[in-house]
Amino acid sequence: AACDNENVMVELITDGIHSHPSTVRTTFKMFGDDRVVLISDSMMACGLEDGQYSLGGQAVTVKGNLATLTELGNIAGSVTNLMNCVRTAVKVMDIPLASAIKCAAVNPAKAIGIYDQYGSLDAGKQANEASNGGFTVLKI
Residues annotated as part of the active site: 41
Distance CA 108, CA 112 (A): 6
> Among 31, 38, 32, 35, which residue's Cα sits nearest to residue 89?
38
